[in-house]
A and B are shown apart, each in its own frame.
Chain A
Amino acid sequence: MFWTYFLILIATFVLATFYGRSRALQVSNAQAVKLHSRPGYHGGFLAIVTVIPALLLLLAWVIVAPNILNNIVISESADYLSGLSKPEVEAFLRDARAIAFGGIVGFTDAGKEHAAELFASLSRTSNILIGVALAALVAAGFVFGSRAIVPSMRARHFVERSVMVALIVCSAVAIFTTVGIVLSLIFESLRFFQQVPVLDFVFGTHWSPQSAFIGAGAEQTGTNPEVFGAIPLLVGTMLITFIAIMVAAPIGLLSAIYLSDYATKTVRSVAKPVLEILAGIPTVVYGFFAALVVAPFIRGWGESIGLSVSSESALAAGVVMGIMIIPFVSSLSDDVINAVPQSLRDGSAGLGATKSETIRRVVLPAALPGIVSALILAISRAIGETMIVVMAAGLAANMTINPLEAVTTVTVQIVTLLVGDQEFDSAKTLAAFALGLLLFCITLALNVFALRVVKKYREQYD
C-alpha cells in the first residue's frame, strides 16, 4: 500500500508542477515577464506545497503503523498470549502476519487465525485512514498553493529555500550517522572501561584477552584487567604502517612526478588508470598475495642470509600494504602537482632551470601541503586496513619492532574478538569497541594534524 500511495504522490507532484506553471501563466495573462518568478518556479512551489507534507505523513505512517498494529493485536489477543515469553509473543505475531499478508507460516492455531483476521481488518482500516488523511493534505495544500499563485508571489525564493532544506537534510543524515557510530563506540567502550581501567588498557603491555576470566563456567565473574594492554597492538600497527609508508611514499610520489611532468599524454592516459586499478583490487586478494607470495619469499630470503624470519612477518604485511596504498599517494599527489600553476614552471624554466630543478625546487615545495595530506590519508588507510594483516602478519601480540617477527594490529584483534558467536557483555567482546575507539582517536588526530599542516603551508595562487 505504501508504494501505491508513494507513486500516486509522485504523480501528483508532476501534475502539480505542470498545473502550477500553467496557472502562473494564466494569472499573468500569458505574459511571463509580469511574474516575479518564472512559471517553472510557480510549478515547483505548487508541487512542494501540495505533495511534501503528505509525503512526510506517509513516511511517518510507514514507520509507526506496524508498531501500533502489533500493540492493538497484542491487547486484543491477550487470552491466547497469557503465559508466553517475549520471543514466543514475537513468533506469534510473525505467524499471524504471515497468515494475514502471505509468507512462511510456522504453524497455525485458533489464536493465530484470530490475530490474523484482526491484522487484516486493522490494516485495511489503517490504509483507508491514511489514504483519506493523505488526500486531505494534498487537497488542502493544492487549494492553498494555487490560491497563492499571483504574479507578485516570490515562488523562486520559496523553491530555492526548499532546495537548501533538502540539501541540509541530506548532509544532516551523513553527520548524524557519524555521530551515532561514535556514540555507540563510546557507550560500549564505557562499559568496557567499567571492568578494565582506562590506563591499564591504553598503557598496558600485555594483550591476551583469551585468558581474561577468573573462575570458570557460569561462575566466571571477575575480569583480569592485566591482559587488556593495547600497547603491543599499537606497536604492531605502527610498525606495519611505517613499513607500508616507506614503500608507498617514494614509489607513489615519484610515479606521480613522472605522470604529471614527464609522461607524454598517451603514457599518462594509460598509466594513470592502470595505477588506479591497484586501488580497485579487493584487499583480500592482496592478502593472498602477501601470505602466499611475499611472506614465503621474505622468509626464504631471510634464511638464505642466516636470519630467522617467521612465516608470518610484519615486513610481508607492510610491504604488501604499501603496494596497496601506492595509488592513493600517487593519484592524490598527481592531482596536487598538476594543480601547481604552469606559470611557476614557466618562470623557473625561463630562468634556465632544468626540469628536475624546477620540480625539486619549485613544484614540490608548492605542492607540499597537498602531498602531506595525501600521505596522511594513505596512513589512515593503512592503519585501518585489516585483511592483509590477518593473512600475512599473524595474530600473535608480540611487542617488537623487529619487522621479521609476527605482529598483530588493532584491526586484526577487533576482528578476532568479534568473529563467531559472542555474548555482548563480557570484557573480551567489549574490548573490541574500546580498540575501535582508540583507532578512531588515532586516525582523527592524524587527520586534524594533516589539516593543520596543509593550512599552515598552503600557498594562495590566483
Chain B
Amino acid sequence: MAMEMTAGTVQTQNMTGALPLAEDGVPIKMQAQKVNVHYGEKQALYGVDLDVRKNNVTALIGPSGCGKSTFLRCLNRMNDTIDICRVGGNILLDNEDIYDQRIDVVELRARVGMVFQKPNPFPKSIFENVAYGPRIHGLAQSKAELDEIVATSLQKAGLFEEVKDRLDEPGTGLSGGQQQRLCIARAIAVSPEVILMDEPCSALDPIATAKVEELIDELRENYTIVIVTHSMQQAARVSQRTAFFHLGYLVEEGKTNDIFTNPKDQRTQDYITGRFG
C-alpha cells in the first residue's frame, strides 16, 4: 500500500527485529519503566511499569481519576502541553526513550497517534481533515497520492462508503459516530505505529460504539493500540491485554481473559465485579 512506503514505517520494519520479546514471545512495542507523573504538588502516577505488546489492543481500565488517561497521554507526550505536569521514569518506543532530549516530539506524535474522548474534527471538509496530517508531514508528493492516502485511511476507518460522495462537506456536519471514525481515519493517515485512544466511544451511541469497536479489532493487524475505557465490557470485547489502574498505581496487568475471570488482586476483583468505581 502506498502509505506504508513512508520513511517512518521503513525504519520501524528495520528495527522490529531488535524489539524485546515478552514472556509469551510477542514483541514489545512500548515499555513504561517506573513512570511517575506529578501535576504540580499532586502525584498522579506512582512507578508504573507496563509493556505494550505489538499488534495487540491493550485496554487501560480503572475508576475515574485513577491515572489511566494520564498514563496514556505520557505515551505520546501530550502531557507536554500542560505546564505544571512533570513526568519521571522511562518510556521506550522501539527501545528508544521518548523523553530523551534528542527525540523530536513532533515526529514522536506522528508515530504514536491519538484519538480523543470527544470527536474533535477540525472545522474543515472531510477530505481536509484526513489530509491534514499527510500535508504537514509531507507524506504525499502529488495530489493523486494525497487522494489515495485519504481514500485508504477512510476505508480503513470504515467511513469511506458513507462519505465518498461528500468529501467536500464539513467534517463537523457528520454524526457523532462518523466524526469519531473520521478522527480515527485522520490518525491513520499519518501511518502511525501506535494509536492511543482515550475513551473513544464514551460520547457515542451503542450502534456507533459497535462500529468503532469492530474497527479497533481490524486495526490491530497493522497497528499497536492502547485504549482507555470506562466500560469493562468494551475492554473485554476489544482487547487482548488489560491493565487495571487504581489511585495512580498499576494494580494488575495480564491477558484480558485472565483479568476478567481470574484476577490476582482483590482490588481488581472488586472493581470488575462492580463493588466500587
The distance in angstroms between the C-alpha atoms of A282 and B213, with both chains bound, is 62
Interface pair A361/B78, CB less than 8 Å apart = no
Q: Does B124 contact A (CB under 8 A)?
A: yes
**A344 in the interface, Cβ–Cβ < 8 Å?**
yes
Spot the interface stretch: B22-30, B56-64, B103-111, B217-225.
Answer: B103-111
Verify B109–A264 contact, CB threshold 8 A: no
- Mask, B72-90, CB within 8 Å of A = 1, is 0000101001010000000
Alpha-carbon separation in the docked complex, A429 to B216 (Å):
77
Structural contact, A357 and B136, CB atoms closer than 8 A: yes
Stretch at the interface among B41-49, B143-151, B183-191, B248-256: B183-191
Cβ-neighbour of B109 out of A343, A345, A351, A459 (below 8 A)? A351
Per-residue CB contact flags for chain B residues 108-120 toward chain A (1 = under 8 Å, else 0) read 1111011110101
Contact across chains for B122 and A347 when beta carbons are under 8 A apart: yes
Return chain B residues, CB-CB under 8 Å to A343. 116, 118, 120
B122 touches A348 (CB 8 A): yes
Given the interface pairs A349-B109, A351-B113, the reply to whether A344 lies near B136 with Cβ below 8 Å is: no
Residues of chain B within 8 A (CB-CB) of A361 are: 132, 136
The contact of A350 among B76, B136, B137, by CB within 8 Å, is B76
Q: Which residues of B contact A422 (CB under 8 A)?
A: none
User: Do B110 and A352 have beta carbons less than 8 Å apart?
Assistant: yes
Bound CA–CA A352/B109 (angstroms): 5
Does B109 lie within 8 Å of A346, measured CB to CB?
Answer: no
Known: A343-B116, A460-B172. Contact between A350 and B122, CB under 8 A?
no
Assess the A352–B136 pair: CB atoms within 8 A: yes
Contacts of A255-281 to chain B: CB distance below 8 A? 264-265
Contact partners of B120 in chain A: CB under 8 A: 341, 343-344, 346-347
Count how many pairs of residues, one from A and one from B, have CB atoms less than 8 Å apart in the complex: 76
Which B residues are CB-close (under 8 A) to A264? Answer: 83
Of A341, A344, A350, A459, most B-chain CB atoms within 10 Å: A350
Interface residue? B133 (CB, 8 A):
yes
Residues of the B chain whose Cβ atoms lie less than 8 Å from the Cβ of A346: 78, 81, 114, 116, 120
In the complex the two chains form, what is the Cα distance from A47 to B205 in whole Å? 52
B249-269 vs A, Cβ < 8 Å mask (1 yes, 0 no)? 000000000000000000000
Identity of the chain A residue whose Cβ is nearest the Cβ of B109 in the assembled complex: A352
Cβ of B123 under 8 Å from chain A: yes
Shortest Cβ distance from B124 into A: residue: A365
Measured in the bound complex, the distance between the Cα atoms of B155 and A333 in whole Å is 39
CB distance from B119 to the nearest CB of A (A): 9
Report Cα–Cα, A341/B121, bound state, in Å: 11
Main secondary structure of the interface of A (DSSP, over half): helix
Instruction: Determine the chain A residues whose CB is within 8 A of the CB of B115 once the complex forms.
Output: 350
Contacts of A341 in B (CB 8 A): 120
Most buried by A among B83, B136, B172, B187: B136
On chain A, the number of residues with a Cβ less than 8 Å from chain B's Cβ atoms is 22
Q: Which of A338-366 contact B (CB under 8 A)?
A: 341, 343-354, 357, 361-362, 365-366
By CB atoms of chain A within 10 A, which of B108, B110, B132, B170 has the most? B132
Q: Is A351 in contact with B136, judged by CB distance below 8 angstroms? A: yes
| Complex CA distance for A361 and B83, rounded to whole angstroms | 23
Residues of B within 8 A of A344 (CB): 120, 122-123
Q: For residue A365, which residues in chain B have a CB less than 8 angstroms away from its CB?
A: 122-124
Q: Smallest CB–CB gap between B115 and chain A, Å?
A: 8
Which residue of B has the minimal Cβ distance to A458? Answer: B123
Chain B residues whose CB sits within 8 angstroms of the CB of A357 once the complex forms: 136
A354 to B170, CA, bound (A): 23
The answer to whether A350 touches B172 (Cβ under 8 A) is no
One digit per residue, 1 when the CB lies within 8 angstroms of any chain A CB and 0 when it does not, for chain B 133-170 equals 10011000000000000000000000000000000001
Chain A 215-241 per-residue mask, 1 if CB under 8 angstroms from chain B, else 0: 000000000000000000000000000
Interface flags, A439-462, vs B, CB<8A=1, else 0:
000000000000000000001100
Contact B123 A352 (CB under 8 A): no
A345 surroundings in chain B (CB, below 8 A): 81
Please determine whether A351 and B123 come into contact, CB atoms closer than 8 angstroms. no
Q: Most chain-A Cβ atoms within 10 A of its Cβ — which of B106, B107, B137?
A: B106
Cβ contacts under 8 Å, A354 to chain B: 106, 136
Does A349 contact B81, Cβ atoms closer than 8 Å? yes
Residues of chain A within 8 A of B136, CB atoms compared:
351-354, 357, 361
Chain B positions within 8 Å of A349 at CB level: 78, 81, 109
Closest chain B residue to A347, Cβ basis: B120
Q: Judge whether B132 and A352 touch: CB under 8 Å.
A: no
Q: What's the minimum C-beta distance from B168 to chain A, rounded to whole angstroms?
A: 15
**Residue in A closest to B76 when the chains form the complex, CB atoms:** A350
Digit string of A357-389 for contact with B (CB within 8 Å is 1, else 0)? 100011001100000000000000000000000
Given contact pairs A264-B83, A347-B116, A353 touches B123 in the complex (Cβ within 8 A): no
Q: What CA separation (Å) do A418 and B124 show in the bound complex?
A: 52
Could you name 26 residue pairs across A and B whose Cβ atoms are closer than 8 Å?
A: A341-B120, A343-B120, A344-B120, A344-B123, A346-B78, A347-B120, A347-B186, A348-B122, A349-B81, A349-B109, A350-B116, A351-B109, A351-B132, A351-B186, A351-B187, A352-B107, A352-B108, A352-B109, A352-B111, A352-B113, A352-B136, A352-B190, A353-B132, A353-B133, A357-B136, A459-B172
Given contacts A357-B136, A366-B123, 5 further A-B contacts (CB under 8 A): A346-B78, A349-B109, A350-B113, A351-B187, A351-B190
Give 3 nearest A-B pairs by CB, closest first.
Answer: A352-B110, A350-B114, A459-B123
- B-side residues, CB < 8 A to A, are 76, 78, 81, 83, 106-111, 113-116, 118, 120-124, 132-133, 136-137, 170, 172, 183, 186-187, 190
